[in-house]
Structure 1
Amino acid sequence: MAVELNDLALFVAVARARGFREAARGLGASPSGLSETIRRLEAALGVRLFNRTTRSVALTEAGERLLARLGPALREVDSALDVVNSFRSRPAGTLRLNVPISVARLILPDIVPGFLAAYPDIRLEVVAEDDFVDLLAAGCDAGIRYDERLEQDMIAVPIGPREQRFAAAAAPAYLAARGTPAHPRDLLGHACVRGRFRSGAMPIWEFERGDETLRIEPQGPLIVSPGGAMDLAIATAIAGQGIVYLFEAWLRPALESGALTPVLESWWPRFPGPFLYYPGRRLVPAPLRAFIDHIRG
């Protein structure tokens, strides 16, 4: 049975992307070419690896078992090849990061351009999503999360500002019509723009001043998914439809322009900045090692 290692790697890429188009986009290949590769691999193995319909691509049981065994094996191949990379004058290869949407929006723009300029032989792939993922299962070298969501047995390196704040704000017209909250409990009588995670959970609005901490569950006219839909939440607040509660840095342009006015600023909670985290394995891939050196420098 002649099976090419590259065909196996492409199988893993399609399985992790859950589709030929998505995998092709990430690989710079054609969906039809990937589909033909998988057909060739299935013919060589004598089993179907994917169930295909016009709308979806899903692993068969055989495909799931193959993926479970191939992932660790291909990572070992990558590690072995990366030993050679250490002899190069400049690190090369691909670095895959899984990050929250807020980090992609607020922190990476100050880091990525300089990193790419310093390491032109490295290709950076950033997957921005707010769901917590298994890095290795997702095929990523490292992730960025806040300390309460870091996996155990991972090495964590600070990245970005070491202190951030959540902020509440509303349009001047809204406050003129509805009044300005003087205490977090006053929010229960206001229209507030809320977020809801894919799990169905809605983040609590937490405020603190001195030793006092309050957790509020306000109501409002709009609920959005945290991350990608937050621009809609901000636009709704600017239009005078309610109070928004978000990363201060995300609201800063609207606050500085006067489109939004700070609300309960003395109660805005502070929290530590995020961390880059990765498995504590002996050989750190050269692109990741270069990224760590860049953020530490």
Structure 2
Amino acid sequence: MADAPLDDLHAFAAVARARGFRGAAVAEGVSASALSEAVRRLETRLGVRLLNRTTRSVAPTEAGLRLLERLTPALDEIAAALDGINSVRARPSGTLRLNVPVIVSRFVLPPIVGGFLSAYPDITLDVMAEDSFVDILAAGFDAGVRYDERLELDMIAVPIGPRTQRYVAAASPAYLAAHGPPNHPGDLVGHACIRHRFPGRASPAWEFERGDEIVRVSVQGPLVASTLDLQIAAAVAGLGILYSFEDALAPEIAAGRLVPVLEDWWQSFSGPYLYYAGRRYLPAPLRAFVDYVRVLPASAAG
């Protein structure tokens, strides 16, 4: 292996961690075919198969797992050494890749991004907004943003954005005139409700809270959608009651296009966290972002 090119070793590690050529290609910013060719060259050079490939999955062989186990710390040390040069520059540079929920990309990051990129003009911020939960390291991200119930235990978490958020329920004046407002969360079973679809799982029950009482309601309605804009448009059009983030519904409520309901039952929850692996060396762009977020007042970040 002494004469194996470093780029081919890096390509193998990326594919093995991502468990696929497409995911690794997105993470590395190269084509899947280039990664496939690099792995093929490495396997030919070593005379052993490193990856088992099927039409649906890619997984390391026993030899591949052994190589990955030894290779990962070595590649991390190389990356840290190169990034050490970056740390002595007047301004850190490079790309910071973040994976965040869609709601965070809309309401939490915008007040932060402008100031951060102005402070660090040599850093490129690459943000993937999605609601599915991914392994950020395997997918090639430097860090992610998630709410506390979705955080991995072995990750470092740093508060980002507002520390308290709320779900609010609202419907159009026309809908309430036709159907009347619910007086208790249990009344929602008799109403049309607009639900959010999460990737890979059914729409969850709506949860309300007043004092020590928590009520969960399995609602039904004419629309289930993964996009918040479509949900809001449907609610404004009078198709049903919507229960969603306060930041998202506030403009429609302020304009009178939606009317709050069940206000005594709106549920508050803790704000999101920036999370990342507890590595000894952080890439300079990530270190700069963590430092920036740590000193940013919550009131200025959402």
* 1:105 and 2:106 are equivalent in the alignment: yes
Aligned to 1:161: 162
Are the counterparts in 1 of residues 160 and 271 from structure 2 also a CA contact under 8 Å? yes
Taking only aligned residues, the RMSD between alpha carbons, in angstroms, comes to: 2.8
Query: What displacement does 1:39 show?
Result: 3.8
Match of residue 7 from structure 1:
8
Q: Partners in 1 of 2:100 and 2:251 — Cα distance?
A: 23
Question: What SS does the aligned partner of 2:290 have?
Answer: helix
Change (3 A) 1:38 1:206: same
What does the per-residue CA deviation read over 1:67-117, in whole Å, with 9 as the maximum and x for residues that have no partner? Answer: 565444423322232222221111122322222222122211221222122
Give the Cα separation in 2 of the matches to 1:216 and 1:40.
Answer: 56
Does the 8 Å contact 2:193/2:240 carry over to 1? yes
What are the superposed Cα offsets for residues 43-84 of structure 1, whole Å, 9 maximum, x if unpaired?
32343646376xx67346369635565444423322232222
| Contact 1:168/1:245 (<8 A) preserved | yes
Which residue is 2:126 aligned to? 125
Does the 8 Å contact 1:11/1:38 carry over to 2? yes
Structural mapping, 1:36-115, within 5 Å: 36-46=37-47, 47=49, 49=51, 51=53, 58-59=58-59, 61=61, 65=65, 67=68, 70-115=71-116
What per-residue deviation string (whole Å, max 9, x for no partner) do you get for residues 206-251 of structure 1? 11223332222111122234xxx23222222222211111111122
1:263 aligned partner: 261
| Distance in structure 1 (CA, Å) of the matches to 2:177 and 2:19 | 49
User: Aligned partners of 1:140, 1:69: CA distance in 2, in Å?
Assistant: 21
The equivalent of 2:241 in structure 1 is 243
Task: Name the CA shift for 1:52/1:124 in 2 (closer, same or farther; >3 Å).
Answer: farther
Does 2:16 align with 1:18?
A: no
| Kept after mapping to 1: 8 A contact 2:156/2:275 | yes
* Structure 2 counterpart of 1:291: 289
Q: CA deviation at 1:290?
A: 0.6
Q: Do the aligned partners of residues 137 and 30 (structure 1) sit closer, same or farther apart at CA in structure 2, a change above 3 Å counting?
A: closer
- Residue 300 of structure 2 corresponds to none
**Is the contact between residue 136 and residue 143 of structure 2 (CA under 8 Å) also seen in structure 1?**
yes
Counterpart Cα distance in 2 of 1:238 and 1:132: 30
Equivalences, count: 291
SS at match of 1:111: helix
Unpaired runs of 5+ residues, structure 1, are: none
Counterpart of 1:51 in structure 2: which amino acid? R
Q: Which amino acid aligns with 1:272?
A: S
- After superposition, the C-alpha distances for 1:232-281 in whole angstroms (9 at most, x for unaligned) are 22222222211111111122232233332222223211111111122333
Partner of residue 252, structure 2: 254
Change in 2 beyond 3 A, CA 1:74/1:253: farther
Alpha carbons of structure 1 residues 195 and 280: separation in structure 2 relative to 1, 3 Å: same
Tell me the TM-score normalised to structure 2 length. Answer: 0.83
SS of 2:204's equivalent?
coil
Q: Would the alpha carbon gap of residues 30 and 143 (structure 1) be closer, same or farther in structure 2, given more than 3 Å must change?
A: closer
TM-score w.r.t. the length of structure 1 is 0.84
Cα pair distance change 1:126/1:18, threshold 3 Å = farther
Q: Residue 44 and residue 257 in structure 1: after superposition, are their counterparts in 2 closer, same or farther (change >3 A)? A: farther
Between the aligned partners of 1:67 and 1:247, the Cα distance in structure 2 is 42
Equivalent position of 1:232 in the other structure = 230
Aligned residue for 2:11, secondary structure, equals helix
CA contact (8 A) 1:194 1:222 kept: yes
Deviates more, 1:1-10 or 1:185-194: 1-10
Instruction: Render the CA deviation track for 1:2-33: whole Å, top value 9, x for unaligned.
Output: 3211222234445528345x655555545554
Aligned to 2:299: none
Distance (Å, rounded) in 2 between the aligned partners of 1:148 and 1:32: 37
Distance 1:30 1:218, change over 3 A: closer
Separation in 2, partners of 1:71, 1:94: 20
Q: Which moved more, 1:174-183 or 1:160-169?
A: 174-183
Contact 2:24 2:140 in 1 (8 A): no
Distance change >3 Å, CA 193–CA 255, structure 1 → 2: same
Return the letter of the residue paired with 1:267: W
